[in-house]
Structure 1
Amino acid sequence: MPSEPQLEVLVLGPLAVRLNGAAIAVDRPLERALLVRLALANGLPVPDQRLAVDLWGDVDLARPTERLRVLASRLRTALGTPDVLTRASNGYALSARMTDLAAARSLAKGLYAAARAGEHATVSALGREALALWRGASLADLRAVPYAATEAEQLDTWRLDLQLERLDAELALGAATEAGRELEALAAEHPLHERLWCLLALALYRTGRQADALNRLAQLRSRLSDELGVDPAPDTAEMELRLLRQDPSLQLRATTPEPLNLPLPMTTFVGRQAELSDLLQRLRTPGLITLTGAPGSGKSRLAFEATRAMAAAGHPAQLVPLRAIDATELDSAQRRENGLLVLDDAEHQLEPVAKTVAHLLERTNLTVLVTSREPLQLPDEEVRVLEALDERSAAQLFTERCAADAQAAVASEVAAIYAATEGLPLGIELAAGLTRTLPVERVAEELGSGLSAVLKWTYRLLGEQERVVLHEVAVFADGFTLEDAERIAADPRDVAPALTELADRNLLLVEDLDGRRFRVPGAVRDYTLQR
């Protein structure tokens, strides 16, 4: 029995339509508008009269039912399948999934829950992932249609709310300068949005700009009076008063312990939100949890995100990169009786790590999170295997990391890359890096099977200068700065441009830790050292 056609309607940006994973064109504006209106009904029939009003406005149309019949016939032809658009006794119904909107709603649900719990790092991560689903203004090409203008306005309001939730969380994490720049841009777009302007004033105040903060709120007060004839809301007036009094509560409290050497990746966290949420719940209970999986499956990144989230929530946390220290140093590195200890890359010294962890668990109330390609084989060890990303998350990761002109890649090409990389995040990121040299279809054709094939192709496309620098920086076990790399380079002049090229190809992770730092992902480092 043939499977039912899978129609996807993407609305967080200009309309995009996919049937069974392949992009299809619906060119005429009214057909596009009918498609989206029926998709918004989630499979329920929409009466003819309601459709007519939504598409043409509240005007007296001649023969609206006949007009809709012609429009529906044209839409079926454009879709290439009559099965998804059906006629009911009282209207039309469409069998379709609004995949981007559904994904954004799911992520937003977790974001709001994390915001209520004060888990700022989780709010930031979920907010960035949700906002990355937008490809531009929602329903950007349908806003002349009556119902679409209303839907687009609601989606715009929701998108701004997600942005503000994320920026509020990042202010709580201490990123006042970065958040302030983004808030300035948003304030220019939304000159009467009080919560936005209050967050901007707070960001300015925390960067030592009290006068600017007060000036922004004075501007807001004047605009509200001139354009709407109203006074600021009580929360805005209270913020202005607290700024004038230099209320100590406006500053961050330095009570949350900072993780040791915990990097802040400069890229979004994609595709492991369910695993992160589940892991955060587990880490609140003492014991040993080991994240295992193939090289490039994202064990370290998941552990880093979990550590940041736990630390932001007030749990003592410490990260120990085992590439950088000897396992025998662990006992002196961790003095707490309780808290979270994260041991990254344990497979390089599995036996001494296992002995030390067993000793620590015997005499402390620690929660120990380990990343390793193999379990430690200790009693009561909880092993969590990271599987491949699902295809939707892999496609999102590829789109975020690829060259700008490759972002419109057809679904079949992305699916071929997904299969070739076996859904491993590192493989997908490296394949995305190849698009800076090769067209997407060539990347899909040339990749063999598995991460090693992607690494081989990426390495082959490097210039001699980039290869030399990659070999040189692979000796750094726990990251390095530009100055570190120049210090050991055969020719320091080659380092900066080579690092830029390597980062563009996703062979380097760029991190913000007391200034700009770089790190070679474990699987890339192993491959390079083997060369």
Structure 2
Amino acid sequence: MEFRLLGTIEARQDGRRVDLGPVRQRSVLAALLADANRMVPVDQLIDRVWAESPPLRARDTLYSYLSRLRGVLAGGGLEIERLGGGYLLRVDPDAVDLHRFRRLVAEAREAGDNEAAAVLFDRARALWRGEALADVGTEWADELRRDLRAEKWAAELDHTDVRLRQGRHAELAAELTAWTREHPLNERLAGQLVLALYRCGRQADALDHYEQLRRRLVRELGTDPSPPLRELHQRVLRGDPDLIAAPAGTPAGADAVPHHFPAAPPSFIGRADELAALTAASRPEADVSRVVQISALAGAGGVGKTWLVLHWAHAHRERFPDGRLFADLHGFSPAGAPLDPSVVVRGFLGALGVAPSRIPPDQDAQVALYRKLVDGKRMLVVLDNAANAGQVVPLLPGSPACTTIVTSRRHLAPLITRYGARHLQLDILSHTEARALLAERLGEPRIAAEPAAAEALISLCGRYPLALAIMSRHAQTRPHIPLAEFAAELRDLGLDALDHEDPTVSLPTVLSWSLRALTGEQRALFALLGIAPGADIGLPAVAALAGSPPRRTAKVLSMLEEASLLTRRAGGRYAMHDLIRDYAAATADRDLPREERESALRRVIDHYTHTAHAADHRVDPHRKVVPLPAPAPGAEPGSPADDSGAMAWFDGEHANLLAAQRTAAALGWHDAVWHLAWGLHTFQNRRGLLHDRLAVWQAALDAAAHLPDPAAGIRAHRLLGDVFLYCRRHDEAVKHLHEAITLAEQHEDATEESLAHHSLSWAWQLRGDDHRALAHASRALELFRVLGQRVWEARELNQVGWFAARTGDFETARGHCTAALALHREHGDSHAEADTLDSLGYIEFHTGHHSSAIRRYRAALALYRDRGNTFQVADTLDRLGEPHAALGHHDDARTVWREALEMYRQQDRAHDAGRVQRQLDALDGDRSPGAVREASGFPSPG
């Protein structure tokens, strides 16, 4: 049975048309045939058939159509198979005119003989019976038609090149003239017409057509003809005899030295390290080693692999006196199926001078002949755009005299492992290279005139070569529009601004070709990674996102990394380039049902939330444990082994936890928003992350309004008040703390009431009212004793002792702090022990016992550093400088104050940083203890 898509949708059996039923049913078949032998997800099928107006029970209707099609097409060499979340149509690709067209065109392009190529192109053209999928009117069909028109047009131009090489310029002149009326700005077509006219003896007409095109390009696009077309014009102008056509039927590659190679890129920027690596990997001396010289160049689509290789090859052509061969293997391209190696081998044999009649029919014999012909020759073989290692291996020369460069979006591990290929990963451009690319395309004056807009374009394009090239084209063809407008358009439209109907210059389309080689599981995880919160992600979180065991998830991640869609960083972190991530997110929106996306996000957010609570408990085991809802199935929370492991986990995941909270807020998952803030509290407090603490607790307070437990609102007010205190926003701090006390009293929550009094004591200290601070601390101590909370009683003993010292009552202060220290050690509360040692250091200093103060401060510092509390480390260093200065240990004082100053600056604590800077200035000027104390703003010792 034959299937036709290049016209109206048809199926034919023994020359007779098969009734395929109504147009929707035919559309279902077309949607599967277009991706023959590849799984198409159900939702994608529905979108292809009905677009934005599916019937109420679209899936049931789809199943009904598929059932009927199975019956109609039974015995026709076609099988429709259900796979996971979609359907796969198994069929011989040659039974479908679309895929047969693509195969014929690919074989024609690689044919080593013009006559054979012309026959193949003619057979491909004959398959078209009008507009493709003429009876389907969906958005998907429109998009496919645009792609196929581009493929057909590209094939027509390639066919024209073949006919010109055959000497058929006379019959082409009229045809090309008509085409130029439809495509007046197509420079390749113009070049073909100029050449045909010249060969027909119409030199004046050829020059006139070039001049018309040049004027039109300047008038409509503000640009000159391309360098190849300008060179052709000059050759016509001087009557170059080499432009006269070769006799019809002359075989391509009849020369002894093949140069089956594309032109060098018209411009090339940077890549010095990569070019040097290619040079180092290719040895011009044939007898240096018996190891085959292979370089495997990998990178994402549109990152510039082909241009890099072509630029290098043309710059080093003298290294390859015996010739150069090039093949585009179509591993990732609009042509669909990758090129069969046998097609490429036949093309190479033709380029090496083998007549078609002498090419062996068997592929193994063809490969053997190819390797025999290149053996011992210093040649370059470039295998571009490989789908996999299996496609490449038959094309390897096997001779150490040859150099082979393979480009692919995959890492081609077998080439590296079995054949010793040198792997070279091509990444995005450096900032300098990205700016140079813009300047080369747009001119330095235009870049210099709008430096901020140019920087915005570089940033928004993420230094991705194809994205920069696309935006440069937009700006180059519209010189009257400011660059700032293009930057704003890219910022607003995202990937849509980088799209185009020509698939080769559309970043979304170029990226889409990478997905064709992925399994359904790999495509699904790629899409989910696009919506995962955070800029990077670790394996446990990815496993939760996928709902799969870590070992299986690691294998899928490895394949995405192999496909250059993902980068693995140190520490087991995975990340995507921003534009690839945007494409992944768009893929998720398009291909994954909303329920599937939200389930994945719920799992990963639950993973983060539960792990954060477990890590928080490791960091502060004495902190109140807040009950959590059970995690979603598959979330698999982690549990750090100890406090240092917990702090390390927080350091690695902090940005992702913030992103997870924002995602939860956007989805209205108020419980997750609040619990993430709770889990982050101790870590952010100890790291001094004031602005982040403020953001998470403001979000938590908003979420608390939607939660049934009043304690959520009370705690949010209290902890938000704490943050405002550290930010020195006293009025807001006191407002929230009093609100916490009011709510706690209403709901008879004495624990929260006492904790709010504890915080209010700090608020009044920062306002300079130590007596009022002492009153709140005393009230908190009283409540904790009534509640029988011994850990907090110990902590509040220290608090009362501290404020007693601040008011000058050092006897009371020492008694309370000494009692607190004993209780902390009894409870194993090392962090609170550090707080109390710091308080005792303050007491010793202010009672004139400076050496004892230094010992206390140093003991506190050791505990703070051990627990990773950089916020308190800064404060204790600040205070440690005081007794050093008082004893005349100016170098020691200077050392600790400089460290405190740097930490304050890192923590955005400008007030404290300014005070320490004044202390350092005083120390370097008037070195008397009184002058330093005056600069510090601390009270004089009693």
**Superposed pair shares fold, TM > 0.5:** no
Larger radius of gyration: 2
Higher strand share: 1
Higher helix share: 2
For the superposition of Structure 1 and Structure 2, which TM-score range results when normalised by the shorter chain? 0.3 to 0.5
Alignment TM-score, normalising by the size of structure 2: 0.25
Alignment TM-score, normalising by the size of structure 1: 0.42
